[in-house]
Amino acid sequence: MAKNPIRRAQLIAPFGVGAMMVVKDGTSLISGGIDHWYKSEKGFDKNVDETEFRVEEWRLQRLLNVNHFRLPPDYRDVKENMSNKYLQIPFLRFPQWHFCPNCKRLYKLPLTARGRQKCQECEEKEMIKFLAQVPFVAMCTMGHIQDFPWREWVHSSVNPTCTGKLRIVATGGSSLGAQIVKCSCGEERSLSQITTENVLSTKLDKNDISYICQGNRPWLGTEEGTSCAGLLRGSLRSASNLYYSDVRSAIYLPRGSKKAPAKLVSLLEEPPISTYINIICSLPNYSEEIEPTHLRNAPNIPPPLLAPYNDEQIKEALKIVISADKEKTEFANQYITQEKNPEILFRWEEFTVLQEARDEDSLVIKKTDINCYDPSCSTYFSRINLISKLRETRALAGFTRILPENSLSLEERKALLRQSSPVSDQDNWIPAYIVYGEGIFLELNEKRLREWESQKEVINRVAPLIQRHQQLVQNNRTKQKPISPRFILIHTFAHLLINRLTFECGYGAAALRERLYISEDQDAPMAGLLIYTAAGDSEGTMGGLVRMGQAGKLEPIIQHALSDAQWCSADPICMEAGLYSGQTDFYNLAACHNCALIPETACEEFNHFLDRALVIGKLENRKLGYFNLG
C-alpha cells in the first residue's frame, strides 16, 4: 500500500477483497483477505491498535449480522513513537502465469513474487527479457477465481501427465482463435470460445469429462482449493464482470430519548468510549450495569467528553447502546414472525425518519410545505424534504463474479472475505467507511399512485418484464425480488431526475446516488426516493443539491426531466424493443444509454428494471405514465 497507494474508500469498492487492479509498473494484483489487514511488514504488529479503526452503525450491524465495522488502515510513515505505523493492505501477484514477449514461453510464478521477473530461457541466451502476465483467467459464479488451465486446455485432458514447456503464440488475428497454446510434446490448441459460458468446463476434455471449478481463492494467500461444483468460465482479466462488490449501506439514524440526547448516544458508539464499553461487556463475569462514574474515570477517555451530561442521561444512553442488538420493536417482531423481507424493515426505519424534521449532528432534515410547490409538482408528490446533512456507512459484505446477483447467501458472501471463520464476536467484522453528504427526499402521493398502478394497461406493460425476471431467477442468474409498477416507476424517475440534476447543480452523474423506498405492504407502504451525494471528508458537501430542492427551483428541474424523457434518440426502437426482447440484459423496457441509464455506482439495481413509458406514457397512450394521469 505504501509502494502503490490506493484510497481507503477504494478498498470497499471497486478494489475490495478479491478484486484485481494494475499498479503503475504494469503488474496485476489481487486484493488480499481481511485476515491480513492491520499488519506491518516492518515488525511493528505489537503496536497496532485496531480499535482506532472501529466503526459503529447499529442498523447495518443488525442487518449484516456483524459485531462492528472497521475502516481500512491508512499508511503512516512518521518518526514519533505512535501506534498503527507502516500498516499496509496485502496485495498478491495474480494471475500467476506469465509469458515472455520474445520467446513466448509460459512460466508460473508464486503469489508472493515481487518486481519484474526475467525470462530464464532468454537469459540463458544472454538476452534480458521481462515476463508479462497472461491476459486470461478463469472464474465461477461462486466467487472463486484461478489461473487459466493452460496445461489441461492444450492437452484436452482434465488430468494431463505431460510436463513439457508451454508457449502462447499469436498468429495475427484479432479473435481468441488467433491465440494458440503450444506444448513441446507437439500438442496445440487455440483459445477460441473460452469466454463463452460453460465452454471451458464442458469442452476442455476430449473424453467429455467435466472440468469443474477448483475452488481457488488466491486473494487469501493460498493455492489450495476448496470443494466447488461450479462451472468455470474463461475471461479476460480486465473484464468488467470479473468482480462485483456487494456494498451495503445505511443512512445513520440517531438514537435518543427524552432522557438521553441523541448526541450522547452517538458519542458512546464511537471510540474511545465504545472501545471501553465493548471491553467491559465482553468480560466473562459481566452481569451488572456500567456505572457512569466508571466511564468518567476510565483511562483514555478525556473528561471533557462526558462533562456536559449528568449521570441519569449517561445511564439511559448506556441502556440504548448496550441493548441495541436485543431491541425489537413491535413492527420488527411482526416482520420476523411473518417471515417477511428484512430489507423492507431496514428501509422502513429510514423512510419514517426522513419524513419528519430533524436537527442532529449527523442528520439535518428540513421539512417543507408541499403546498408551496407548484401544482405541477405537488399533485404527484405528498412530501418533499431537504436533507442538509446525512451520514452514510458503506460496508463490503462480500462480492460476486460473472453476475452481480446470484444464489450465494449473505453468510457465504461474507465468508469470501476471510480465510478462517471468526472465533469470537470481536473478530466478527467487515470493512466499511463513512461518508457525509446532502440530499432531496421525495414521497409520491400514495392515493394517486394506487389509482395509477391498478390500471390494466400499466399491469400489462410490466408483465413481460416480470416474466423475464422469473425466468432468470429459475436459471439462478439473479435473486428473487418484488417487481411491481411502482418499483419500476420510482426507479426510472430517480434516473431521469439524476440525469437532469447533473445539468442544474454541477454534480457529475457518478457523484449522485439514488436510494429507493418502495413497498406495497399494507402495514408499511412506501413510495419514496432519496437523491443524495456523499463525500469522504468530515464536512460533506456544500449545499448545492439541497438548494435545487427548494420550491421554485425543483419544479422546472422535474419538468425538464420529464420533457427530456418524452423522446429518446433511439426511439421508436427504445420505446418498443423492450416489450419483445428487453434491453440491458433483458431487464429493461423503454430505457437505454441515450435516455435513462446512469453510472452503475449511482444505481442500486445495476441499471435494471427501468421503463420511461411508466413515467411519461407512450404516444398512443399518455395516461400510461404516472405523471400524465388525469
pLDDT confidence tier of residue 331, bands split at 50, 70 and 90? very low
Judgement on whether residues 491 and 560 belong to the same structural domain of the protein: yes
**Cα→Cα distances 226→140, 211, 422, Å:** 13, 15, 18
Tell me the per-residue pLDDT of 178-232, one tens digit each, with 9 for 90 and over: 999 999 999 999 999 999 888 898 889 988 898 999 999 999 999 988 989 888 9
Do residues 459 and 554 both lie within one domain?
Answer: yes
**What pLDDT sits at residue 328?**
40
Q: Is the peptide bond before 95 cis (omega within 30 degrees of 0)?
A: yes
Residue 42 pLDDT class (50, 70, 90 cuts): low
Range name among 440-444, 447-451, 488-492, 535-539 with the lowest pLDDT average: 535-539
Determine, yes or no, domain membership for 85. Answer: no
Does residue 507 lie within any of the structural domains?
A: yes
Look at residue 332 in the predicted model and tell me its pLDDT: 46
Q: What is the mean pLDDT of the chain?
A: 88
Answer whether residue 526 is part of any domain.
yes
573-594, pLDDT tens digit by residue?
A: 999 877 777 787 778 999 999 9
Q: Check whether residue 445 and residue 555 sit in a common domain.
A: yes
543 backbone φψ class: left, alpha, beta (φ>0; ψ -120 to 50):
left
**Residue 629: predicted pLDDT:** 60
User: Does 285 score more than 70 pLDDT?
Assistant: no
Exposed/middle/buried for residue 284 (C-beta within 10 Å: 0-12, 13-18, 19+): exposed
Residues 449 and 511 in one domain: yes
Q: How far apart are CA 328 and CA 58, in angstroms?
A: 13
- 464 phi/psi in degrees, rounded to 5: -60, -35
pLDDT per residue as tens digits for the range 131-156: 999 999 999 999 999 999 999 999 99
Q: Are residues 474 and 531 in the same domain?
A: yes
Asked whether residue 387 falls in the same domain as residue 533, the answer is yes
- Does 349 share its domain with 318? no
Q: What is the pLDDT of residue 320?
A: 81
Helices and strands per DSSP (H, E), number in the chain:
19, 23
Looking up cell 446532502 gives: 438
If asked whether residues 459 and 588 sit together in one domain, one would say yes
**Residue 32 banded pLDDT, cuts 50, 70, 90:** very high
Per the structure, the count of domains in the chain is 2
| pLDDT tier, 2 (very low <50, low <70, confident <90, very high otherwise) | very low
Q: Give the range among 61-65, 510-514, 583-587 with minimum mean pLDDT.
A: 583-587
Same domain (yes/no): 521, 466: yes
In 3D space, the residue among 273, 262, 260, 266 whose CA is nearest the CA of residue 312 turns out to be 260
**Residue 627 near residue 523, CB atoms below 8 Å:** no
pLDDT at position 80 over 50 = yes
One domain for residues 621 and 590: yes
Angstrom distance (rounded) from CA 550 to CA 544: 11
pLDDT in tens, 423-456: 888 889 999 999 999 999 999 999 999 999 999 9
Interval 372-410: pLDDT, tens: 999 989 999 999 999 999 999 999 999 999 988 888 899
Structural domain that includes position 470 = 342-392+436-628
Of 243, 253, 269, 249, give the one whose Cα is nearest residue 417: 243
pLDDT of residue 540: 58
Q: Is the same domain home to 500 and 543?
A: yes
Model confidence pLDDT, tens digit, residues 347-381: 999 999 999 999 888 899 999 999 999 998 999 99
The beta-strand segments (E) located in 276-380 are 358-359, 363-367
Pairing of strands 233-236, 136-139: antiparallel
Tell me if 144 is assigned to some domain.
no
> How much is the pLDDT for 44?
56
Q: What band does 479 get if pLDDT is binned at 50, 70 and 90?
A: confident
- pLDDT in the model for residue 425: 80
Q: How confident is the model at residue 336, as a pLDDT?
A: 45
What's residue 261's pLDDT?
84
First to last CA, the chain: 59
Q: Which residue, 291, 322, 353, sits at the end of a domain?
A: 322
Q: Does residue 380 share a domain with residue 292?
A: no
CA pair distance 177, 166, nearest whole angstrom: 17
Is the pLDDT score of 41 beyond 80? no
Q: Is residue 75 part of a domain?
A: no
Q: Interhelix angle for 330-337 vs 342-354, to 10°?
A: 160
User: Does the pLDDT at position 46 exceed 50?
Assistant: yes
Is position 251 within any domain?
no
Model pLDDT, residue 287: 58
pLDDT tens readout for residues 469-478: 898 888 877 8
pTM greater than 0.85 (yes/no): yes
Answer whether residue 112 is part of any domain: no
Whether 377 is in a domain gets the answer yes
CA atoms of 532 and 511, how far apart (whole Å): 9
Confidence (pLDDT) at 104 = 96
Residue 587 has a pLDDT of: 87
Q: What per-residue confidence (pLDDT) applies to 585?
A: 74
Q: What is the pLDDT of residue 553?
A: 95
